[in-house]
Structure 1
Amino acid sequence: MKIAFYGSSIVSAYWNGAATYYRGLLRALAARGHDITFYEPDVYDRQKNRDIDPPEWCKVVVYDGTLEALRQAAARAGEADVVVKASGVGFEDDRLLSEVMGAARPEALKIFWDVDAPATLADLKAAPDHPLRLALPRLDMVLTYGGGDPVVSAYRALGARDCIPVYNALDPETHFPVASDPRFVADLGFLGNRLPDREARVEQFFLEPAAKSPNQAFLLGGSGWDGKPMAGNVRSLGHVSTRDHNAFNVSPKAVLNISRESMAENGFSPATRVFEAAGAGACLITDHWEGIDLFLKPDEEVLVARDGQDVAEIIGRLDRQRAWEIGRKALARVLAEHTYDHRAEAVDRLLRTHGPSRVEAAE
C-alpha cells in the first residue's frame, strides 16, 4: 500500500522524541511491502541536526516552513492509499490536518496518529471547536503510541470511530548491547531533555536522590539543563547524539526512565527510552506507572521506584552482577515480544482489516 505519513521528522531526533518510534515502525512496515513517503517541515533546526541520512526504506520529503510549501506537500496525499497525519508536526498542525485530509481520496484510509495523547486530549477537551475534534468523526481511526483504556475511551467519547494503541518498541538494528564507554561510566544515568511536563519529576526521581547519595556518581544527558542547580556528584553532558545512546545506556550501573507527568498519570505509556535501554541490555529503573508489567516484569526485568527515596535506596544496594542479570532478562523479553516487527505486524493487519478494497486496488 502507498502510505503518505505527515510527521515531525524522521531524519532528525533533535527536539523530536518521536524519531525512534517513526524509524522503527515505518522501517518494519516497509519490510512488509508498504511504499512509504514521510513528509516533514524544515523547522526547529532539525535539518541542521540530522542524525541519519534519508533511509532506503522510506522516501523523505522535506518542505519549507511556509504555507505554500505545506499546501504543496499536503496535496500529494491524494496519491496515497493510506494517509496519516501525526500529532506534534510542529508547523501549522491544524491547517496541515485540514489540507491533508481534504486532499486524500475518498477511498483512502485516513488516520490521525497521536504520539502525545495526554497533551492532545487535554487540548481537545478544553476546546469544543478544536479542528481535530471536529475532524474525528470523518477519520477512519486514531492510533496512539500509548495510553491504554483511558486514552481509547477518551478518544471514542470525543467522536473517534476507533482508537487503537500502537506502543513504543525496540528497533534491534539501532539499539543493542555495546561495550562500556568511559565517558558514560556512573552509578545512575538519566537521558532526557528539560521539559516543563518533566522537570519536577526529574527533580524528584533524579536530582534529589543524587543529593542524598554523595558517594554515588550520577550522569545527566539531554538539552536544556544548563543553569539548573544540582549536586556536585551530578555530571551534566548536554545533548547526547543518538549514535551514543547505546553506550550511554550500558556504561552506568543502571539507567533511569522518568515519565512525563501526563504520561505517568495515564499509564500504559512506555517511553521509547524504556525499550532503547532494554535493547542495549541495560539495567533500567523506572518511575511507577500503571501497565508496566505488560512490557517488563518488575524486580526481574526492570526495577520500579515510586519516589526519589526508592531511587536512592535501589541504587545504593544494587550491585553490578544483579544489574547485569536484570539487563539481560529485559533484553530477552523485548526481543521476544516488543520489537517494531511485532508492532508492524499488528498495524499491517489493521490496515488490511479496515480497508480490504483499498488493499486489493493497491495490489
Structure 2
Amino acid sequence: MSSCRERDSPPIGGEGRRAENNKQDRVRTVGMDAATLTYDTLRFGEFEDFPETSEPVWILGKEYNALAEKDEILSDVTSRLWFTYRKNFPPIGGTGPTSDTGWGCMLRCGQMILGEALLCRHLGRDWRWATDQKQREDYISILNAFIDKKDSYYSIHQIAQMGVGEGKPIGQWYGPNTVAQVLKKLAVFDTWSRLVVHVAMDNTVVIEEIKRLCMPWLDAAGACAEAAGVSELNGCLEGACALAEEETALWRPLVLLIPLRLGLSDINEAYIETLKQCFMLPQSLGVIGGKPNSAHYFIGYVGEELIYLDPHTTQLAVEPCDDGQVPDDTYHCQHPPCRMHICELDPSIAAGFFCKTEDEFDDWCMRIRRVCLCVNTALLFA
C-alpha cells in the first residue's frame, strides 16, 4: 500500500470562505471552479472513464467486476440520489439565502446519505432508476422530502434552520457530526418512514441502547407488566404487539451514523482497510466526509480509490409538477462517478448503516465483530 502523503491543509468544510485563496475544488475537470459548475458541464464534461481493472468494485455493499459489469456499476451509481448546490429556491427562514453555493456541501452530503436510507427503506437496495420509466409513488414521496422548500422534511431549509440549535448559523459549513445530529432531530417528524436515526458517539455502538430505540414496545410491555403484575402480562404483551404490528412490525428501521476521527491532519493508514470493509457490508449507507475545503458522499471504492458523489455543482431549484411528479433528471448523476485516492480523505468522517429489521442489525453486529477480529486492521469503533 502506498503511504499517505503529507499535506498542510485546513480541515474539511467552508470552501466558500476560502475562495479568496483560490483553493478551488476539482472534480476531474480542467480549469473549472467546482462551485460554479453547471449540470450540463458535469454531465458532458471530459470525465475520466471508469478504470479497466480486475480488482473488485464495491458500491454500498454490492461487489462488481469493472471489466464485465461496467453498465451495472453506472446504473447503480446513477440510481443513488444526487443532491447538489441549488439556487433560486425560497429564502431560508423567509429572509435568508436563496442558494447554498459555497456553504452547503456537507448539508447536501447529509441529504444523500439519508436519501439512500429512504431508498432502502421504501424501495429496496436493488431498485434502479431510469429516465424513461414512470416513477413509483414511494419514490416521488422520497424525492419530495428533499425538495428545496421550508415544509419538506429534509430540505436545505430544514437542515440549515435545525443547525442553528447545534450552534451553526445559517450559511455556515457543517462537519459530519453536526449534520448527523441535525438529521437525527429531523427524522422524528417523518412519520411516514418512522426511522430511528441513532448517532453513536465516542466511537462506541451500544447494542442494548439501539434495540430499546428500535423496539419501544418492549419498554411499554415491561412497564405494563410491572404495573399490572405477572398475571396480566400476556394481555399487556398482546396489546403492545398489536400496536407494534399496526406500526409496521416490531422493529423501527435503523439509520446508524457513526462520527469518526481517523487521524490528526491526515488519515492514519492503519484505518484504511477497515474503512474499505465498511463499504463491503450489505447494510452500508456509505460515508460522508471529504477532503480539505470540500465535502463528498463516498459510496464505495476500487483499489486505492474511493468512489463518490460530489455536491459541488450549482443547479436551479426544482418545483414539483401540478400532478405531483418531480422533474428528477438532475437528482441522479449520469456520468462516470468521481474518484480520489483514499489517502486524500480528511480524517473527520461519519459512516452510515441501515438495518431495516432486527435480523439485519444482528447480522451487522456479527460482521463488525468479524472485522474486529482481523489482525491486520485497526478498529474504527467498538
Report the TM-score range of the alignment, normalised by the length of the smaller protein.
under 0.3
TM-score, length of structure 2 as denominator length: 0.26
More helix by share: 1
